Amino acid sequence: MEWAIQFKLLSETIFGSGESIPGSVDLEVVHDDYGLPYFKGKTLKGRLREEVENIIDKMKKIIPNQIEYDTYVYRLFGKAGDNLHNGLKISDATLGSSIKNGIRYGIESGLFTKEEVLQSLTEIRSFTSVNEKGVARKRSLRNLRVIKKGYIFYSQLYLERELEEQELELLAAGISSLRHIGTMVSKGKGSIEARLFCNGKDVTEKYVNSFIERMNKA
């Protein structure tokens, strides 16, 4: 079976690379050799793990003795520094294949450049920090590149074993509760809607509902 995460950008989003371009932007978005933005799989896995752990923490407050779910977290995501676990591996989140193939063809054919591709998918936004009086601080103006809202990204999930129902339920619950990614989420950036897909079919509700039913019976 082929598993994937799909998420749609509901607001402008910053997949920050940590790099700046003198005379252009103070924070560039992560993008490939064709100018296509992408979100690193390792970062996505970390965010997903946070959401799953938050769900389990809330469960423990309502339903004590849910220790086995901690075990599922380790089985899904592994432990820090453990590169040998046979759980979940997540690819970089990229735009759909049809878009990627079209862009690559256009660049390789000389129809446009990767810089033009990046500019068409993004905007430059300016931000300043203010003091306690609401006045802009000197030299605080920063130009950041943001990805336009509305684009849909896909990340493949690679499983070295068949997941148990409880693991799939936790995974779906974590994905559906993933509402923000990237940089400057406190400024309204990075709002998303994420879904779990199996063989091209959205199975989020199926496993989330199963998870809720299991909790109600606990």
Read off the pLDDT of residues 96-145 as tens digits, 9 standing for 90 and up. 999 999 999 999 999 999 999 999 999 999 876 666 765 556 665 788 99
Q: Cα–chain-centroid distance for residue 10? A: 12
Average pLDDT over residues 60-86: 73
Average pLDDT over residues 63-74: 76
Q: Give the Cα separation of 54 and 66 in Å (integer).
A: 13
Least confident of 8-12, 13-17, 47-51, 131-135: 131-135
The answer to whether 21 and 28 have CB atoms below 8 angstroms apart is yes
In whole numbers, what is the pLDDT of the chain averaged over residues?
Answer: 88
Average pLDDT over residues 15-37: 79
**Type of residue found at 129:** S
* 179 secondary structure, DSSP code: -
Residue 62: is its pLDDT beyond 90? Answer: no
Closest CA to 32 of 76, 92, 81: 92
pLDDT band at 36 (very low <50, low <70, confident <90, very high): very high
Average pLDDT over residues 55-77: 80
- Which residue's entry shows tokens 């000197």? 138
pLDDT for the residue numbered 17: 61
Residue 83: is its pLDDT beyond 60? Answer: no
The answer to whether 52 and 62 have CB atoms below 8 angstroms apart is no
pLDDT for the residue numbered 1: 86
Average pLDDT over residues 27-43: 94
Average pLDDT over residues 153-171: 92
Q: Give the Cα separation of 159 and 176 in Å (integer).
A: 19
The answer to whether 24 and 143 have CB atoms below 8 angstroms apart is yes
pLDDT band at 22 (very low <50, low <70, confident <90, very high): low
Q: Which residues contact 110 (CB under 8 A, 6 or more apart)?
A: none
pLDDT for the residue numbered 134: 58
Residue 147: is its pLDDT beyond 80? Answer: yes
Residue 164: is its pLDDT beyond 70? Answer: yes
Sorted by where each begins, the domain ranges of the chain are 3-217
Average pLDDT over residues 183-200: 94
